[in-house]
Structure 1
Amino acid sequence: MTVIYVKTALIAAMAATLLSFGVSSPGIAEVSTKAIPAQCLSMDVSPYSPPELLSIRHGKAETRFQVEIANTDETREQGLMCRPELAVDRGMLFEFKDMRERNFWMQNTIVGLDIVYIAQNGSIVSIQKNAKPFDRTPLPSHGAASGVLEIQAGLSDKLGLKPGDKVIHPFFHKP
């Protein structure tokens, strides 16, 4: 019982601190400790692996991210669920062995996300923008994708990302 209380208090304190400094992500104001799923209180949300560099070439610019890799059924299933925050330069890259239509949702995901669907050659297929925390609505890729990048909600608009932009990471450039 103490562990649950401590984790709940920690998440509430982090949200309150972020809000007091004017830092928020879409949906953080609606998140209360009552809304946090019980699954999140016992889930290990530590990083899967050391972050890897991923870049996106968009227009004349290039933006770099440090991403965790989700390349097993277990890590893809957990994704960024239960994370109380996501830094602007961080993300998670979901790697799949096949190219097909993908659907993601936001069950147990506390922070808002932009979901970037990526083809095998690294081209952005589509972007689901400002996915709402805890929403179970499927968010389709509208085309075949072998990779999915989750980044902070609203960031794709701030950067001007669009379909056809190029994601640079070893996963997309295998011989």
Structure 2
Amino acid sequence: MPKHRFTRPFRPGIALAAGAIAITVNSALLNGADCLGLPTAHGGLLQLLLRWLDGRPSPPVNPLTALGFHGLVGLGMALFYAAWLEPRRSAPAWQCGLYYAAVVWLLNAGAVLPLLGQGLAGSRVLRPAGIAAFAVAHTVFFVLLAVLYARWCSSAPTRPDDAGSVPAP
């Protein structure tokens, strides 16, 4: 095990900034795919949560609610990455982001979308190009998040009393 394991500080401010940029780029890529006629998986997690809470097969979702939820999930994933995954990484940041992307994509493709009746990776409702576009936008989010977080942390002050730094869990 590397000696630095679990010693890098958790910087929530940097995580939120990196997450905000990454989720904005992700949203732009998904919107671009839609504009090109490539529908992608939209709001699967929100639909699943609403189904469990509401009990209806396909509860209506306001587009602004969906966008806000998408942003909040992205920021939550950024905080999780910064607090739990990044302090443990021994590979370059982009590789850790790629790993995080693969794990989350597999959970979405193998659990969330099938539970919604959309099939593996949404194959019952999406064309292969839409599945691929979603995978690309999804992967860009996680890799960009990891790279920005690592880069900004490496140039940030490292004093223990730094407002953006608290000990990692």
The bucket for the TM-score relative to the shorter chain is under 0.3
For the pair shown, which has the larger CA radius of gyration, 1 or 2? 2
Q: Which has the higher strand share?
A: 1
TM-score between the two structures when normalised by the length of structure 1? 0.26
Greater RCO (Cα-Cα under 8 Å, separation 6 or more)? 2
TM-score between the two structures when normalised by the length of structure 2? 0.27
Q: Which has the higher helix share?
A: 2
